[in-house]
Amino acid sequence: MKKISLLIPVYNEEASLDALYTALVPLLDNTHPALKDRYEWEVMMIDDGSRDNTHAILLRLHLRDPRIRYARLSRNFGKENAMLAGFDRVTGDCMVIMDADLQHPVDTIPEMIAQWEDGWEDVYGRRLSRGKESILRKGLTKVYYSLLNRSTRVDVLPDVGDFRLLDRKAIDAIRGMRESQRYTKGLYCWVGFKKKGVDFVTADRIAGETKMKPGRLLNLALEGITSYTTAPLRFASVAGFIISLASIAYMIYVVCKTLIFGEPIQGFPTLICTILFLGGCQLIALGIIGEYIGKIYNETKQRPAYIVAEESGDSCPDTSDTDNKTTTP
Ligand code: UDP
Ligand code: MG
């Protein structure tokens, strides 16, 4: 019997977990009407350093139903790193990643599995609506993806998130990428594999509130650009080149003008504007270079992407990311 893993990163989700479990039971028991076959199921919840009752609830769920497994990270490492902890632990022939807040409808999973059975290796959920999100977030998301995709060869699909089914081959490929500042959405696209979209409507959060506050989203967005493309560096050099050309042209103009008409002491505003403008450009370019150097610095430390404090059962393949360095495919 084929085995399907569900990977669910969980951060302060005490209010959603029981409803999530209830929603998953028809799948786990193979009684969901849309399931065409019977499967062995495993749920891997990664408690990303929750500060509420999440851990106690996970433990209770695990004791009640051993198909629910969990790993508790030693602190909040962020969803991207929590997902890597899950990638390292799931044992299924394929894996479905979903959120704990039931924004990703459980009823879409059988359809994803059917596509996987047809030979697709990365079946991604495509949002038909983005649920209760501010107009600002929707608009910025659109601009962001168009900028990101203009600067890379491998496109990151807009309106596609982490809700997806990955075949074992894709799981192992992504698991092999150990960068600790992760942008998994880019990795799904980078590793390739046969991709197929399945539409779904984002539901509203069942309980609690979003953990992806604007600051975090901005960080993730910058992470996305700097991990996925070096286009900003290219942009800085091209802009520098254009500004230099313009400066040379202006210099020639000023020299000629002075030679022909002489120069009464004037031009202070022009001078100050030029200095400020060039200074600003230099700072921006330095900032962009700094972003990349910061990333190199962080990656050279080779710290683990996450640390596990505790996990359910003894059957787990390993206990911390540091050990994985030797077992990584
Ligand atoms: N999450 C996590 N670590 C974090 C933030 C979020 O594991 O640092 C989980 C969270 O519990 C949820 C999923 O990631 O299962 C998506 O988070 P959320 O629903 O807050 O984001 P949104 O859907 O609003 O983008
Ligand atoms: Mg959510």
What pLDDT, in 10s, does the model give residues 178-192? 888 888 888 898 898
**pLDDT of res. 323:** 43
d(CA 189, CA 180): 18
Which of 17, 79, 162 to mutate to test ligand 1, by most ligand atoms within 8 A of the CB atom?
79
| Cα Rg of the chain, angstroms | 25
**pLDDT of res. 121:** 95
Ligand 1 near 165 CB (within 6 A): no
**pLDDT of res. 132:** 67
In the chain, which residues have pLDDT < 70? 130-132, 314-329
Ligand 1 near 91 CB (within 6 A): no
**pLDDT of res. 36:** 83
**pLDDT of res. 122:** 93
**pLDDT of res. 145:** 82
Is residue 312 within 8 A of residue 71, CB to CB? The reply is: yes
Locate the ligand 1 atom nearest the alpha carbon of residue 11 and give its number: 11
Nearest 5°: the CA angle 73, 76, 78 is 105
d(CA 16, CA 179): 30
d(CA 107, CA 56): 27
Locate the ligand 1 atom nearest the alpha carbon of residue 8 and give its number: 15
Q: Identify the residue whose C-alpha is closest to ligand 1 atom 19.
A: 210
Ligand nearest to the CA of 82: 1
Counting beta carbons within 10 angstroms of the beta carbon of residue 39, is it exposed (0 to 12), middle (13 to 18) or buried (19 or more)?
middle
Place of tokens 């799981």: 171
**pLDDT of res. 327:** 38
Ligand 1 near 100 CB (within 6 A): yes
**pLDDT of res. 274:** 83
Nearest Cα to 85, choosing from 324, 306, 316, 325? 306
**pLDDT of res. 68:** 93
Which of 211, 216, 217, 308 to mutate to test ligand 1, by most ligand atoms within 8 A of the CB atom?
211
Nearest Cα to 200, choosing from 104, 76, 319? 104
| Number of residues in the chain | 329
DSSP 49: S
DSSP H or E stretch at residue 42: strand 40-47
d(CA 89, CA 265): 73
User: Taking the CA of residue 323 as centre, how many other CA atoms within 13 Å lie in the half-sphere pointing to its CB?
Assistant: 10
Ligand nearest to the CA of 205: 2
Ligand 1 near 82 CB (within 6 A): yes
Ligand 1 near 47 CB (within 6 A): no
d(CA 329, CA 199): 32
DSSP strand pairing (68-73 vs 40-47):
parallel
d(CA 227, CA 247): 33
Residue-wise pLDDT for 275-301, tens only, equals 888 888 888 888 888 888 888 888 888
Phi and psi of 41, rounded to 5°?
A: -120, 150
d(CA 95, CA 122): 10
DSSP 313: S
Ligand 1 near 7 CB (within 6 A): no
